[in-house]
């Protein structure tokens, strides 16, 4: 598919990432549908859409006319068939579990038009582990946004060995046309670029914490005040979701079997306690006050 043929976008998964990706694309002029298996999640996304756009208008970031147009372009629907039936690009943003993603892609392959590109927003699972669940592997790739997707500028386009040059080039240009900055990975690697750098920092931060060398607050201060990071590694994990941090590392450890890829003990403990950061009110920091 050529970029000028790409008119309609579907996002599957209306959680924190999916709803933001969908609204971002609607703001930038694409007819967009958003769906999820949970009616409650969809209802929450509808409320969030209205509140977010109203906030943009109140702050002068969008005119009322622009907000109304974006709201009209983003349709939130219950049915995957309705959401993806006429899509040119589908972006999957469901839970970071390979078996779930493969099932979603198999369904999308049956529902979406033959021309459609099927992309996964997975932060670590490479698309070659998903592509053979479809009959269109050349049109499957990673399209990885960062949280918060409405704010963060970078998007990683990851071209697997099965992904055609045309598909990768179309995704790179799509990212540009929606006001973001793409990087094009010509080869697959777990974790891609940004998260490999981030995971190396987080692994060392967890080592320092687990060994009683410094507190998580002090480690965050070192990253923020000495290295110039906008957010330290523990504050960032709280913001992105400790559940995501744990599941991503667990997936990678299962793939490699390398001890250095095992989720750090402090992350596993938080995950098992249900202390997943801002989304639950408590992580390394307490947000319940």
Q: Give the model's pLDDT for residue 128.
A: 97
Q: One of 162, 195, 216, 275 is an active-site residue; which one?
A: 195
Q: One of 92, 96, 156, 275 is an active-site residue; which one?
A: 156
- Adjacency order of strands within the sheet including 140-145: 74-76, 31-35, 8-12, 89-92, 117-120, 140-145, 154-158, 181-185
Return the bridge partners of 12, or none: 35, 92
Could you report how far apart the first and last alpha carbons of the chain are, in Å? 50
Q: One of 24, 144, 162, 199 is an active-site residue; which one?
A: 144
Catalytic residue check, 79: no
Q: Residue 240's closest CA among 17, 25, 11? A: 17
Q: How many Cα neighbours within 13 Å face the side chain of 153?
A: 1
Per-residue pLDDT of the chain (289 residues; tens, 9 = 90+): 999 999 999 999 999 999 999 999 999 999 999 999 999 999 999 999 999 999 999 999 999 999 999 999 999 999 999 999 999 999 999 998 899 999 999 999 999 999 999 999 998 899 999 999 999 999 999 999 998 999 999 999 999 999 999 999 999 999 999 999 999 999 999 889 998 899 899 999 999 999 999 999 999 999 999 999 999 999 999 998 999 899 888 988 988 899 988 999 999 999 999 999 999 999 999 999 7
Is the domain covering 3-185 a CATH 3.40.50.720 domain? yes
Q: Give the model's pLDDT for residue 256.
A: 87
Provide the residue ranges of all domains of the chain, joining segments of one domain with +. Answer: 3-185, 196-273
Q: One of 25, 121, 122, 123 is an active-site residue; which one?
A: 123
Q: Give the model's pLDDT for residue 123.
A: 84
Catalytic residue check, 239: no
Contact 89, 121 (CB under 8 A): no
Q: Where are the alpha helices (DSSP H) in the chain?
A: 16-27, 39-58, 64-73, 80-84, 98-111, 165-177, 194-210, 216-221, 233-240, 242-256, 265-273
Catalytic residue check, 199: no
Q: Give the model's pLDDT for residue 191.
A: 85
Q: Give the model's pLDDT for residue 289.
A: 78
Could you tell me the pTM of the whole model?
0.85
CATH of region 196-273, choose from 3.40.50.150, 1.20.1070.10, 1.10.1040.50, 3.90.320.10: 1.10.1040.50
Residue 171 and residue 119: Cα distance in Å, rounded?
9
Q: Residue 168's closest CA among 125, 189, 137, 133? A: 137
Q: Give the model's pLDDT for residue 195.
A: 86
Q: Give the model's pLDDT for residue 5.
A: 97
């Amino acid at each position: 598919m050529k970029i000028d043929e790409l008119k309609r976008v579907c996002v599957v998964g209306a959680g924190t990432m999916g709803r933001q990706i969908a609204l971002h694309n609607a703001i930038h002029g694409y007819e967009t549908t958003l769906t999820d298996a949970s009616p409650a999640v969809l209802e929450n996304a509808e409320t969030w859409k209205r509140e977010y756009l109203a906030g943009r208008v109140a702050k002068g970031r969008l005119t009322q006319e622009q907000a109304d147009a974006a709201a009209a372009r983003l349709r939130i629907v219950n049915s995957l068939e309705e959401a993806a039936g006429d899509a040119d690009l589908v972006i999957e943003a469901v839970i970071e579990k390979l078996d779930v993603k493969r099932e979603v892609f198999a369904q999308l392959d049956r529902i979406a038009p033959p021309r459609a590109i099927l992309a996964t927003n997975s932060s670590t699972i490479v698309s070659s582990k998903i592509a053979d669940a479809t009959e269109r592997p050349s049109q499957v790739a990673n399209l990885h946004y960062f949280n918060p997707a409405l704010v963060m500028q970078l998007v990683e386009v990851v071209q697997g060995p099965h992904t055609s040059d045309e598909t990768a080039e179309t995704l790179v240009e799509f990212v540009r046309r929606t006001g973001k900055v793409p990087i094009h990975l010509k080869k697959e690697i777990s974790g891609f670029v940004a998260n490999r750098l981030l995971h190396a920092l987080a692994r060392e931060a967890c080592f320092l914490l687990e060994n009683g060398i410094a507190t998580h607050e002090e480690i965050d201060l070192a990253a923020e005040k000495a290295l110039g990071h906008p957010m330290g590694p523990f504050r960032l994990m709280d913001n992105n979701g400790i559940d995501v941090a744990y599941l991503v590392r667990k997936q990678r450890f299962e793939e490699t079997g390398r001890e250095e890829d095992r989720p750090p003990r402090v992350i596993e403990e938080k995950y098992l306690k249900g202390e997943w950061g801002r989304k639950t009110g408590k992580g390394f920091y307490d947000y319940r006050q």
